[in-house]
Amino acid sequence: MKDATPLKNRTQPLRVTRNLRSEVADRPFFRSIGYSNCWEDPEILQEALQVGSGDVCFSITSGGCNTLDLLRHDPARVVALDFNPNQNHLLRLKIAAFQTLEHGEMLELLGIRESTRRRSLFRKLEVALPGETRDFWEANRVLVERGVMVSGRLERYLLAFGNLMRTIYGGKRIRRFFDCDSLDAQRAFYEKEIDGPLWRVIFDLFFSRAVMSRTKDKEHFRLVDFQDFGKIFRARTEHAFTRIPLRGNYFLALILLGHYLDEDALPAYLTRANFDLMRERVDRIEIVTGEIEQYLVSLADDTFTRFNVSNLFDWIQTPIFIRLHEEIVRTGRNGARMANWNTLLARPIPAEVTQIERLAIGAELLERDRAFLYANLEVGVINK
């Protein structure tokens, strides 16, 4: 068992050595709920991080899914950090659902099961929420009524694409795609029923730089100097359609069908089988609202054993990118592991930071990543 001392008791006084700040924190995208799911595959994250009993994890909150999923592997603590307070309100709502609702009620509240009583389910769990989180959800009642899993800006964009696909191809045909029982069958279905000039034009437009910059905020792509986003994402989607079993791909089901395939094909942290375990462990999460640039420098040396950094290095300028890796080394224990994705530009762990050994497994893991949106997965181990 690794050190299970609660972080709260070990954190030292602030040691701000330099005023690091995020350059994108004030963008409008981050004032709403940007993501109500993590579009990063938690099975791949676990293969990269190998979280086990007693680990002390750092995890970007985002939609909360992967922070929650880490609990399945029995860490002692997980610190969930996000500079967007709304992402943390979402995570607190998901945690309160585990604490106060039954499994079926939780699926209803989140928007996974049909429901006409989300308001009253919210009333049932609101006692478990801190005041500011309750106020946020009161002010955003419509998101609760719609089901929070489909309420993020990114989800509305991706689901709009699925809607368009069902309009063009027919809902029954898209649903039949998920019945393919082998990769050969998926490939044949894709070639015969989906691929063609119309698919390519619509896809390339919908996922063009111009459209994505309007939906996700152009600052996500501030370091990317090429334009052909559509073709890149289309190639990745084709990979997911033809090389990864569709049946278990709840990411694609949510996009294309607008809902998960069924309750046997949910993200693992939401399944009935894991519900009691999750309920027991959700209080191991400590939620922090702040910028990674400021948070890491405020921590004591040797705090964490695992780092889930999502894809937030995508838009961070090189000097701060290097500095954050140095902070990961300082705040990580010897042998700690880190993982992060890159969406369009591959940004390897900087060579200047010699105390992180870059592992080659990232490329192989990416081939199997059901969330399929990324150019690169970095996995590293701290040797100090």
Ligand X SMILES: C[S@@+](CC[C@H](N)C(=O)[O-])C[C@H]1O[C@@H](n2cnc3c(N)ncnc32)[C@H](O)[C@@H]1O
Q: Which of residues 290-319 bind ligand X (CB under 6 A)?
A: 291-293, 310-312
Least gap, CB of 116 to ligand X (angstroms): 30
For residue 380, the minimal CB distance to ligand X (Å) is 18
Q: Is 342 among the residues that bind ligand X (CB under 6 A)?
A: no
Which of positions 111-140 make contact with ligand X (CB under 6 A)?
none
Closer residue to ligand X (CB): 62 or 305:
62
State the nearest-atom distance from the C-beta of 88 to ligand X, in Å.
Answer: 9
Q: How far is the CB of 165 from ligand X (least distance, A)?
A: 19
Size of the site for ligand X (CB under 6 A): 21
Q: Per the structure block, which two tokens stand in for 72?
A: 């399945």
- Smallest separation, CB 364 to ligand X (Å): 20
- Of 180 and 212, which CB lies nearer to ligand X in the complex structure? 212
| d(C-alpha 249, C-alpha 267), whole Å | 9
219 binds ligand X (CB under 6 A): no
Cβ distance to ligand X smaller for residue 189 or 313: 313
Shortest distance (Å) from residue 84 CB to ligand X: 4
Return the residues of window 23-82 that contact ligand X according to CB under 6 A.
30, 34-35, 39-40, 60-62, 81-82
Question: Which CB, 115 or 215, lies closer to ligand X?
Answer: 215
The least CB distance from residue 343 to ligand X, in Å, is: 6
Among 20, 22, 76, 327, binds ligand X (CB under 6 A): 22
Q: How far is the CB of 320 from ligand X (least distance, A)?
A: 9
- Residue 255 makes contact with ligand X by CB under 6 A: no
Which residue, 44 or 312, is less far from ligand X as judged by CB?
312
Could you write out the three-class secondary structure of the chain?
Answer: CCCCCCHHHHCCCCCCCCCCCCCCCCCHHHHCCCCCCCCCCHHHHHHHHCCCCCCEEEEECCCCHHHHHHHHHCCCEEEEEECCHHHHHHHHHHHHHHHHCCHHHHHHHHCCCCCCCHHHHHHHHHHHCCHHHHHHHHHCHHHHHHCHHHCCHHHHHHHHHHHHHHHHHCHHHHHHHCCCCCHHHHHHHHHHHHCCHHHHHHHHHHCCHHHHHHHHCHHHHCCCCCCCHHHHHHHHHHHHHHHCCCCCCHHHHHHHHCCCCCCCCCCHHHCHHHHHHHHHHHHHEEEEECCHHHHHHHCCCCCEEEEECCCHHHHCCHHHHHHHHHHHHHHEEEEEEEEEEECCCCCCCCCCCCCEEECCHHHHHHHCCCCCCCCEEEEEEECC
Q: Which is nearer to ligand X, 189 or 206 (CB)?
A: 206
Name which of 105 and 155 has its Cβ closer to ligand X. Answer: 155
Residue 83 sits in the site that holds ligand X (CB under 6 A): yes
d(CA 69, CA 73): 8
Told to check if 154 binds ligand X by CB under 6 A, we report yes
Q: Which residues of this chain interact with ligand X, rule CB under 6 A?
A: 22, 30, 34-35, 39-40, 60-62, 81-84, 87, 154, 291-293, 310-312
